């Protein structure tokens, strides 16, 4: 399981144990995030893909299904393109970093949502505090008062404090090298399901349109959810994922 930019493995805290009843489920902090350090590489596609393959090698995992949320979905697709023999199926959650045609109103909503995430992220980078962690977390959820716990804020703040002096991947949000050209959507030689939250403010329509470019891909929508549907409605998310991966 691969989290979004600036996130950590805790994004899948409500999924790892339930999915472990059927799968050998793992959620990781990837390159430059959380408890995973960084080297001399930039926060780039190549660095993220290499880190994932290195983790699989170290863990003795020859082949894996990949569940990627936001940036994690982008990493999952690129991993399947470069290492097709190592990837089973992909669950591309809230399809971030897709460059697909959507109508003007949807594009405006998506651009506004992405700009707000970048603003909140840079606000934290420039003035690290628990309050700014909370503000950035609120962006992820359709109903933050329902889904954000004090424990989640404390955990993310503690993880961020470990790396305040290091380069921040959150500063890369919206960078030109984080978008995928449209043609790459059809490139992975693996089965893909695109799974969206109905109220995600940064990927409105991207997942639904993006799956049209992947041969035989599927699409599922979780209502009343924002950019973290796996957390907002874990039972439904886990059921969709289990049904898809066990077919």
Among the listed ranges 166-175, 211-220, 234-243, which one has the minimum average pLDDT value? Answer: 166-175
CATH of the domain at 39: 3.40.50.1820
Q: Are 71 and 96 in contact (CB under 8 A)?
A: yes
Q: Terminal CA-to-CA distance of the chain, rounded, Å?
A: 19
pLDDT of residue 242: 98
Total count of domains within the chain: 1
Among the listed ranges 31-40, 190-199, 206-215, which one has the minimum average pLDDT value? Answer: 206-215
Per-residue tokens: 22: 């059927």
Asked whether residue 46 is assigned to any structural domain, the reply reads yes
Give per-residue pLDDT as tens, 86-121.
Answer: 999 999 998 766 666 677 887 788 888 889 998 998
Per-residue tokens: 181: 């050209």
Q: E strands along 17-117, which residues?
A: 64-69, 87-93
Average pLDDT over residues 216-240: 94
Per-residue tokens: 50: 């290499």
Q: Which pTM value belongs to this model?
A: 0.88
Asked whether residue 122 is assigned to any structural domain, the reply reads yes
Work out the angle at residue 136's Cα, subtended by the Cα atoms of residues 53 and 192, and round it to the nearest 5 degrees. 40
Give per-residue pLDDT as tens, 41-93.
Answer: 788 889 999 999 999 999 999 999 999 998 898 899 899 999 999 999 999 99
Cβ neighbors of 142 (< 8 A, separation 6 or more) are 197, 198, 199, 224, 225, 226, 232
More confident position, 177 or 167: 167
Asked whether residue 148 is assigned to any structural domain, the reply reads yes
Give per-residue pLDDT as tens, 28-46.
Answer: 998 888 888 877 778 888 9
Asked whether residue 52 is assigned to any structural domain, the reply reads yes
* Structural domain range at position 29: 9-245
Distance CA 193, CA 169 (A): 26
Q: If pLDDT is split at 50, 70 and 90, which confidence band does 219 have?
A: confident
Distance CA 47, CA 146 (A): 35
Asked whether residue 4 is assigned to any structural domain, the reply reads no
Asked whether residue 3 is assigned to any structural domain, the reply reads no
Asked whether residue 2 is assigned to any structural domain, the reply reads no
Asked whether residue 118 is assigned to any structural domain, the reply reads yes
Distance CA 219, CA 208 (A): 6
Distance CA 83, CA 91 (A): 16
């Amino acid at each position: 399981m691969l989290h979004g930019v600036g996130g950590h493995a805790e994004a899948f805290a409500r999924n790892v144990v339930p999915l472990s009843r059927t799968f050998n489920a793992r959620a990781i902090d990837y390159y430059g995030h959380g408890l995973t350090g960084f080297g001399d590489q930039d926060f780039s596609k190549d660095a993220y893909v290499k880190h994932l393959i290195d983790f699989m090698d170290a863990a003795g995992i020859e082949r894996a299904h990949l569940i990627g949320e936001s940036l994690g979905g982008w990493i999952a697709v690129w991993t399947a393109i470069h290492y097709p023999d190592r990837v089973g199926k992909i669950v591309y959650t809230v399809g971030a970093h897709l460059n697909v045609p959507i109508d003007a109103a949807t594009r405006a909503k998506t651009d506004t949502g992405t700009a707000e995430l970048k603003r909140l992220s840079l606000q934290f980078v420039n003035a690290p505090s628990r309050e700014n962690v909370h503000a950035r977390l609120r962006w992820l959820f359709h109903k933050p008062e329902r889904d954000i716990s004090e424990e989640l804020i404390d955990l993310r703040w503690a993880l961020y404090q470990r790396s305040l002096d290091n380069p921040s991947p959150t500063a890369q949000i919206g960078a030109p090298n984080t978008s995928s050209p449209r043609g790459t959507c059809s490139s992975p030689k693996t089965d893909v399901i695109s799974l969206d939250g109905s109220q995600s403010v940064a990927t409105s329509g991207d997942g639904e349109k993006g799956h049209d470019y992947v041969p035989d891909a599927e699409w599922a929508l979780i209502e009343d959810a924002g950019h973290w549907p796996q957390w907002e409605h874990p039972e439904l998310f886990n059921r969709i994922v289990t049904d898809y991966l066990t077919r």
